[in-house]
Amino acid sequence: MNDERLTNNHMLVIRLTKTGHKGEAKYRVVVTERRYRRDGKPTEYLGWVSKTTKGVVKQLNMDRVKYWLSQGATPSATVKKLIA
């Protein structure tokens, strides 16, 4: 898909989608349209986050995060904390 078309016509958001089993706190960081469901089809996967008893373990592709922020995507409050 053409990235320019997405940013011009739709509001993009960087948010978490839940994965894993019940009781496990595992999330993917994705870029998606604001109107899609939390676990709907993402535009791109940017990384993952896992909350454990030892703390938060994360792996993010910061180059792609910076790219999507420059294209006008807005991060959710939780993602904003993760990338800060």
Q: Which domain holds residue 65?
A: 3-75
Does residue 12 sit within a domain? yes
Mean pLDDT of 70-76: 92
- Counting the structural domains of the chain, the total is 1
Give the per-residue pLDDT at 9: 47
Cα distances (angstroms) measured from residue 50 to each of 7, 53, 57: 29, 10, 5
Does residue 54 sit within a domain? yes
- The model's pLDDT over 29-72, given as tens digits with 9 standing for 90+, comes to 999 988 877 777 888 999 999 988 888 899 999 999 999 999 99
Does residue 81 sit within a domain? no
Residue 65, amino acid: V
Give the per-residue pLDDT at 21: 83
Does residue 55 sit within a domain? yes
- Residue, of 63 and 21, whose pLDDT is higher: 63
The domain that contains 44 carries what CATH number? 3.30.1320.10
